[in-house]
Amino acid sequence: GAGVSQTPSNKVTEKGKYVELRCDPISGHTALYWYRQSLGQGPEFLIYFQGTGAADDSGLPNDRFFAVRPEGSVSTLKIQRTERGDSAVYLCASSLAGADTDTQYFGPGTRLTVL
């Protein structure tokens, strides 16, 4: 079946603009995660959804970052007033139930560049 998909694959924006990044998880997966990966680093956790609700948003760096998953499937990560430091690859992953032992399946990522 289809894996995790993310759109767009690349996004270039100007400082101060608003961006939305979309994630389409594997069908039937209730758990969805967003991570951010800077060059040469491992992914860093941002937020975890269980169904429609954000069960853990402790990784969001500040209130410019917000994410939704209104129907328990597709999720959108929203970044307001973008800054150059937001430039990174944003990864989405999904897993069957969100258990600690579950395998997470990652999408290809969205490369965000803030000029």
Tell whether residue 103 is a contact of other proteins (CB under 8 A): yes
Tell whether residue 98 is a contact of other proteins (CB under 8 A): yes
- The DSSP secondary-structure symbol of 35 reads E
Nearer to other proteins, 92 or 114 (CB): 92
Residues in binding contact with other proteins, number by CB under 8 A:
29
Spatial neighbors of 55 by CB under 8 A, at least 6 apart, are: 48, 49, 98
| Binding residue (CB under 8 A) for other proteins from 67, 88, 91, 112 | 91
b/e per residue 24-57 (b: at least 16 CB within 10 A): bbbeebbbbbbbbeeeeeebeebbbbeeeebeee
CB of 102 to other proteins, least distance (A): 6
- Joined together, the tokens standing for residue 60 give 């969001």
CB of 9 to other proteins, least distance (A): 11
Residue at 37: amino acid letter: Q
Chain contacts with other proteins (rule: CB under 8 A): 31, 33, 35, 40-45, 48, 50, 55-56, 59, 91, 93, 95, 98-109
